[in-house]
A and B are shown apart, each in its own frame.
Chain A
């Protein structure tokens, strides 16, 4: 390989995605942003931006509930906590929310479990398509030491979003898909065998697979999903005295390192 192909894009970027013709119009995936998409709900534009296609009304409504049901205005939740810390030291709204959003791409909650859960259900489906058994697939994953994302929950042993999402999926006529059923079957097995609970990541991923999102599309779609919960946490800390959001006294750093010693000259 070499630098030669860089010469092609040094001064020219040919794209099919879109372009802003300033003072004229804006094209997004073959549609005029103001003429064709101007009456869309923002969520529909967001989905169109990711998927390059319109989704059906019930799919958009279902995906909208993913965001609605995960925006918790509770400053104990880690991304919100970061936002509140930014507010208590009087950082700006954008910096505070972006800091919270960036830590949403975590391993014990947020983007990694979501992506891994979606990938898990797609692979489980492929395994079954090839004549394999679902339980065998689950056990193989466990035996490989892999976390079964979507099952168990770090801070609680049940998830209030699960019944909410199942009801919404039913309401929008999207509760009959194959991957949602896989998610429920895996839960039934893991609960019966190991006492595992199920969290919303499993339900969301099963539904995301059933409406045809791939892992990248799903990761992009979910990226801002906690933000409506971060905003009240920002405002709350912003409106209280500076530095007053859960201050930590010196003695609440519990030190377990080396004993005191001299550096010297």
Chain B
């Protein structure tokens, strides 16, 4: 336990203004002067990769991350994390609430960051061994203990509610694999997709595609999870704002769709069917 009130960082250095120890005169990110050098000369995705990796990225990695960010930017209003943000937006709550809702819901194991994290962990273990992948996709956890996360209910990176692979997934896989190393995860996924889908019985999902892209960018499961959470927020933000304008009278209210089973009423034996 640290006794001094100091934070340790390999990422960030600050030099104070002479007049105020709590104001930075210069900030350095992995050795680069942020305001004098990085911001004027680098792009947003170069800077993002510098933050996550600590090194100036190759052009190929920057291009891959930028396109991945565009692929993930808006999961669309049907997706659970965006719907959560829209619920916040239509209620005119704080903007932070909308994004917190999107983060919490987008953290999950069905299409969310925890699923992506498991995928990246499996990449580290299975690499390009399709037999190992086939085995582990159907048994993604070998820990019998209970945890704060529930056990996975489907093959991570694939959509159990899917039929054929959705066109945007195929388009994105094609595009991203073209920007990634020829011997990398995306290239292998592109070549192995059909065999894996046949094995698990349902199609590749965006989480599985994103995990392969993040593996090609050298991200571990923690880094990948953070990026996945962040990169999906633009859609949550704009749809929350949009629903604030649209208003609650034009927003679905599911009350009539929720039906309480007959025997779930107080004294249901005597009052059977009264809700109808």
A111 touches B148 (CB 8 A): yes
Q: In the assembled complex, which residues on chain A have CB atoms less than 8 Å from the CB atom of B264? A: 15-18, 27, 29-30
A263 touches B7 (CB 8 A): no
A91 touches B96 (CB 8 A): yes
B266 touches A31 (CB 8 A): yes
In the bound assembly, the distance between CA atoms of A125 and B179 in angstroms comes to 54
- Total count of chain A residues near the partner, CB < 8 A: 66
B9 touches A30 (CB 8 A): no
The reply on B139 being an interface residue by CB < 8 A is no
B161 touches A6 (CB 8 A): yes
Counting contact residues on chain B (CB < 8 A from A), the size range is: 35 or more
Q: Hey, what's the 0/1 contact readout for A106-126 against B, CB within 8 Å counting as 1?
A: 000001100110111001000
Smallest CB–CB gap between A71 and chain B, Å?
20
* Given A155-B1, A253-B7, A253-B13: A12 and B257 interface contact (C-beta under 8 Å): yes
A247 touches B9 (CB 8 A): no
The reply on A130 being an interface residue by CB < 8 A is no
B30 touches A249 (CB 8 A): no
A116 touches B145 (CB 8 A): yes
- Pick from A15, A215, A219, A253 the residue with the most CB of B within 10 Å: A253
The reply on B147 being an interface residue by CB < 8 A is yes
Query: Of the candidates B14, B162, B268, which one forms a contact with A2 in the assembled complex, judged by CB atoms under 8 Å apart?
Result: B162
Which residue of chain A has its CB nearest to the CB of B23?
A250
B54 touches A257 (CB 8 A): yes
The segment from B31-39, B79-87, B113-121, B187-195 that touches chain A is: B31-39
B145 touches A119 (CB 8 A): yes
In the bound assembly, the distance between CA atoms of A164 and B52 in angstroms comes to 45
B41 touches A264 (CB 8 A): yes
Q: In the assembled complex, which residues on chain B have CB atoms less than 8 Å from the CB atom of A254? A: 6-9
The reply on A193 being an interface residue by CB < 8 A is no
B41 touches A250 (CB 8 A): no
The reply on B251 being an interface residue by CB < 8 A is no
B16-48 contacts to A, CB under 8 A, are: 16, 21-24, 28, 30-33, 37-38, 41-42
Smallest CB–CB gap between A250 and chain B, Å?
4
Which residue of chain A has its CB nearest to the CB of B144?
A123
B261 touches A15 (CB 8 A): yes
* Given A116-B145, A260-B28, A263-B37: A249 and B7 interface contact (C-beta under 8 Å): no
A14 touches B259 (CB 8 A): yes
B56 touches A263 (CB 8 A): yes
Q: In the assembled complex, which residues on chain B have CB atoms less than 8 Å from the CB atom of A99? A: 100
Q: In the assembled complex, which residues on chain B have CB atoms less than 8 Å from the CB atom of A146? A: 145
A115 touches B10 (CB 8 A): no
A16 touches B257 (CB 8 A): no
Q: In the assembled complex, which residues on chain A have CB atoms less than 8 Å from the CB atom of B8? A: 253-254, 256
* Given A253-B6, A263-B38: A22 and B255 interface contact (C-beta under 8 Å): yes
The reply on B108 being an interface residue by CB < 8 A is no
In the bound assembly, the distance between CA atoms of A91 and B96 in angstroms comes to 10
Q: In the assembled complex, which residues on chain B have CB atoms less than 8 Å from the CB atom of A247? A: 22
Smallest CB–CB gap between B28 and chain A, Å?
6
B261 touches A16 (CB 8 A): yes
In the bound assembly, the distance between CA atoms of A52 and B227 in angstroms comes to 39
Q: In the assembled complex, which residues on chain A have CB atoms less than 8 Å from the CB atom of B201? A: 1
B9 touches A253 (CB 8 A): yes
B41 touches A263 (CB 8 A): yes
A54-107 contacts to B, CB under 8 A, are: 91-92, 94-95, 98-99, 102, 105
* Given A11-B257, A92-B94, A249-B22: A261 and B148 interface contact (C-beta under 8 Å): no
B148 touches A16 (CB 8 A): no
Q: Hey, what's the 0/1 contact readout for B38-68 against A, CB within 8 Å counting as 1?
A: 1001100000000000101000000000000
B230-276 contacts to A, CB under 8 A, are: 254-255, 257-261, 263-266, 268, 275
The reply on B97 being an interface residue by CB < 8 A is yes
Q: List 19 A-B contacts (CB under 8 A).
A: A2-B161, A6-B161, A12-B257, A14-B261, A15-B258, A15-B260, A27-B260, A31-B266, A32-B266, A94-B97, A115-B147, A154-B1, A250-B14, A250-B16, A252-B5, A258-B30, A258-B31, A259-B31, A263-B56
Interface set of A (CB-CB < 8 Å, partner B): 1-3, 5-6, 11-22, 27, 29-32, 35-36, 91-92, 94-95, 98-99, 102, 105, 111-112, 115-116, 118-120, 123, 146, 154-155, 215-216, 219, 246-265
Top 10 A-B residue pairs of the complex, sorted by shortest distance between their CB atoms: A255-B13, A119-B146, A257-B10, A250-B14, A258-B31, A250-B16, A215-B146, A249-B21, A16-B264, A263-B37
